[in-house]
A and B are shown apart, each in its own frame.
Chain A
Amino acid sequence: MVAPEIKISIKDFSIYYGENAALKNLNLDIYKNEIFTIIGPANSGKSSLLQSLNRLNDLTPSYKKEGSIFIDNEDIDNADVESLRRRVSIVFALPFPLPLSIFDNIAYGPRMHGIKSKSKLAKIVEKGLREAYLWDEVKDRLDTPAMNLSGGQQQRLCIARILAVEPEIIMFDEPTSGLDPISTARVEETLRELKERYTIILVTNNVAQAARVGDRTAFLLMGELIELNDTKRLFTMAQDKRTDDYLTGKFG
């Protein structure tokens, strides 16, 4: 077996909000083109980690960190923050469409990066929507408000919006927590497709979802990495008792 290519490398990474440690001395590597899932109960530092990866945490005044994160061997602290956020996209738990039309939502990112040509934007929008499996449902009403879409459609719109900026890494922060089972299945299907071209990090507190789509799974508890393994191995033979308890639903 060829050694997988490391995309993200997290070294001795800790996160503090004021006095509280949200993440303690984390070390892990994420490979290119895998679906890396992170599971764990609330307050285990999952979302904080995602927000650090594209430096959205910089916006939180009480945020402090120790350690480093490398993406393609470059320390993200040295990266230009706008282009970092372009490369490392995030899909939030709640779909947050901007109060614009469907088209303008997806064209927002490319426009901010200086693309003005209408035909070019139209192509990007169509491509994004197709990749997010939303095109057929909305192609006749691209100029209607995105807020009018259903919850599941809005979430796929957010995915399409991210694909339009051509990221390398896509982070999903509990993307289906507010969705019905059918919408959830569609989002999961999208995840598997996207994996071919993107590196995907999926944070979920739905254990079954991690088992369904994850290549490798990390279990975080109270800001500590308890266990990390291939998803199948983690689910069938967890080494740590706490992992086993969590997976079998003894707490969570």
Chain B
Amino acid sequence: MNVYLKQKIAFSVLFLCTLLVIVPVLVILAIIFVKGMSAIDISFLTEVPIKGMKEGGIFPAILGTLYLVLGAVLFAVPLGVLSAIYLVEYSRENFLSRLVKLAIVNLAGVPSVVYGLFGLGIFVLYFEFGASILSGSLTLGIMILPVIITASREALESVPKSFRIVSLSLGASKWQTIRHSVLPHALPGILTGTILGLGRAAGETAPILFTVAAFYLPKLPTSIFDQTMALPYHLYVISTQVPGIPENVRYGTALVLLLLVLLLNLAAIILRYQFRKRKRW
């Protein structure tokens, strides 16, 4: 067969595969948008649910999810970044460091419901935080920790070695070198990891199921020891547990969750863009 023809076929196949990836995303977005748009208005976004969730808004769930995501990121990003720094910059390549890296990769593969049970055992019961925003955030934080560590490690490793050597050879200490010559250039990559983690934390149901999420709690949380409603769990509840919820309310809730994640991602992407602009090498 002609070489050029072969190439054309290969390219076409690759192109089709790429297209296939986009299709489900568009279809999902379209369905949710069309079916849910009619439910969304100001009162839906700002009011508490009433009459057994059949009427009213979903504001407590929106706020709850925001709190949980924020809490998870506040906990997981510093911890993840610092341990990535340790792994990349300080620990020598040996059996222990390989074991730690393997453990982190495996943590990423643990099913989310297992994290939920873990959170229940550790935070809710053992530390007696109860079912609370604190417990839920910590559980979500542990769940996204591997994503953040892995992304941060890759970001740190991609910073050219010459930056470190130049900095050290000018008499900077190791920590100064990391702080001023490595970390600034790894930030975009670290933010990418944070974005991925953020999206996961916002969307997961299982980890918050036992640790924080309230079935029906038509008021706003006042402290981190309060239970709260959260969008993914609320969506599950009104879709499967409570009969008679109008379809557009269910899809509207899904749409809000989707938009919330997109919005959080967008914020992180803009932030990353700002950092990238400064990166020149």
Write the residues of chain A forming the contact surface with B, with a CB cutoff of 8 angstroms. 54, 56, 59, 61, 82-83, 85-86, 89-90, 92, 94, 96, 98-99, 108-109, 111-113, 145, 147, 161-162, 165
Contact partner of B167 (CB less than 8 A), chosen from A54, A83, A108, is A108
| Residues of chain B with a CB closer than 8 A to A83's CB | 171
Of B158-166, B194-202, B235-243, the segment with at least 4 beta carbons within 8 Å of chain A is B158-166
Contact (Cβ within 8 A) B185 A99: yes
Contact (Cβ within 8 A) A108 B180: yes
Contact partner of B93 (CB less than 8 A), chosen from A61, A89, A99, A161, is A61
Contact partner of B170 (CB less than 8 A), chosen from A61, A86, A145, is A86
B281 within 8 Å of A by Cβ? yes
Write the residues of chain B forming the contact surface with A, with a CB cutoff of 8 angstroms. 92-93, 162-163, 165-173, 176, 180-181, 185, 279-281
Q: A61-B92, A99-B280, A147-B281 are in contact. Are A108 and B170 (CB under 8 A)?
A: yes
Q: Is the interface of B mostly helix, strand, loop or mixed?
A: helix
Contact (Cβ within 8 A) A56 B170: no
Task: Please measure, in the bound complex, the distance between the C-alpha atom of A86 and the C-alpha atom of B173, giving whole angstroms.
Answer: 11
Task: Please measure, in the bound complex, the distance between the C-alpha atom of A86 and the C-alpha atom of B170, giving whole angstroms.
Answer: 6
Contact (Cβ within 8 A) A59 B280: no
Q: Nearest CB to that of B172 among chain A residues?
A: A112
Q: A96-B162, A96-B166, A98-B163 are in contact. Are A109 and B171 (CB under 8 A)?
A: yes
Query: Max chain B CB contacts within 10 Å: which of A56, A82, A83, A92?
Result: A82
Contact (Cβ within 8 A) A90 B169: yes
Contact (Cβ within 8 A) B279 A86: no
* Sampled A-B contacts (11; CB under 8 Å): A56-B165, A56-B169, A85-B169, A92-B162, A96-B166, A98-B166, A99-B279, A108-B167, A112-B180, A145-B280, A147-B281
Task: Please measure, in the bound complex, the distance between the C-alpha atom of A145 and the C-alpha atom of B279, giving whole angstroms.
Answer: 10
Contact partner of A56 (CB less than 8 A), chosen from B168, B180, B279, is B168
Task: Please measure, in the bound complex, the distance between the C-alpha atom of A109 and the C-alpha atom of B180, giving whole angstroms.
Answer: 11
Contact (Cβ within 8 A) B168 A85: yes
| Residues of chain A with a CB closer than 8 A to B171's CB | 82-83, 85-86, 109, 112-113, 165
Task: Please measure, in the bound complex, the distance between the C-alpha atom of A112 and the C-alpha atom of B167, giving whole angstroms.
Answer: 9
| Residues of chain B with a CB closer than 8 A to A89's CB | 169-170
Further pairs besides A82-B173, A108-B167, A112-B171: 4, Cβ < 8 Å: A98-B163, A98-B167, A112-B170, A161-B170
Task: Please measure, in the bound complex, the distance between the C-alpha atom of A90 and the C-alpha atom of B165, giving whole angstroms.
Answer: 10
Q: A59-B168, A83-B171 are in contact. Are A112 and B279 (CB under 8 A)?
A: no
Q: Nearest CB to that of A148 among chain B residues?
A: B280
| Residues of chain A with a CB closer than 8 A to B163's CB | 96, 98-99
| Residues of chain A with a CB closer than 8 A to B165's CB | 56, 59, 92, 96
Q: Nearest CB to that of B162 among chain A residues?
A: A96
Shortest Cβ distance from residue A83 to the other chain B in the assembled complex, whole angstroms = 7
| Residues of chain A with a CB closer than 8 A to B176's CB | 112
Shortest Cβ distance from residue A92 to the other chain B in the assembled complex, whole angstroms = 8
Contact (Cβ within 8 A) A165 B168: no
Contact (Cβ within 8 A) B170 A165: yes
Q: Nearest CB to that of B94 among chain A residues?
A: A61
| Residues of chain B with a CB closer than 8 A to A92's CB | 162, 165-166
In the A-B complex, list the 10 residue pairs whose CB atoms are closest, starting with the nearest.
A86-B171, A109-B170, A112-B172, A99-B281, A96-B162, A85-B171, A99-B280, A96-B166, A145-B280, A82-B171
| Residues of chain B with a CB closer than 8 A to A86's CB | 170-171
Q: Nearest CB to that of A56 among chain B residues?
A: B169
Shortest Cβ distance from residue B250 to the other chain A in the assembled complex, whole angstroms = 50
| Residues of chain B with a CB closer than 8 A to A94's CB | 162
| Residues of chain B with a CB closer than 8 A to A108's CB | 167, 170, 172, 180
Q: Nearest CB to that of A147 among chain B residues?
A: B280
| Residues of chain A with a CB closer than 8 A to B170's CB | 85-86, 89, 108-109, 112, 161-162, 165
| Residues of chain A with a CB closer than 8 A to B180's CB | 108, 111-112
| Residues of chain B with a CB closer than 8 A to A145's CB | 280
Task: Please measure, in the bound complex, the distance between the C-alpha atom of A79 and the C-alpha atom of B275, giving whole angstroms.
Answer: 38
Task: Please measure, in the bound complex, the distance between the C-alpha atom of A94 and the C-alpha atom of B160, giving whole angstroms.
Answer: 13
Shortest Cβ distance from residue A167 to the other chain B in the assembled complex, whole angstroms = 9
Task: Please measure, in the bound complex, the distance between the C-alpha atom of A82 and the C-alpha atom of B169, giving whole angstroms.
Answer: 8
Task: Please measure, in the bound complex, the distance between the C-alpha atom of A145 and the C-alpha atom of B165, giving whole angstroms.
Answer: 19
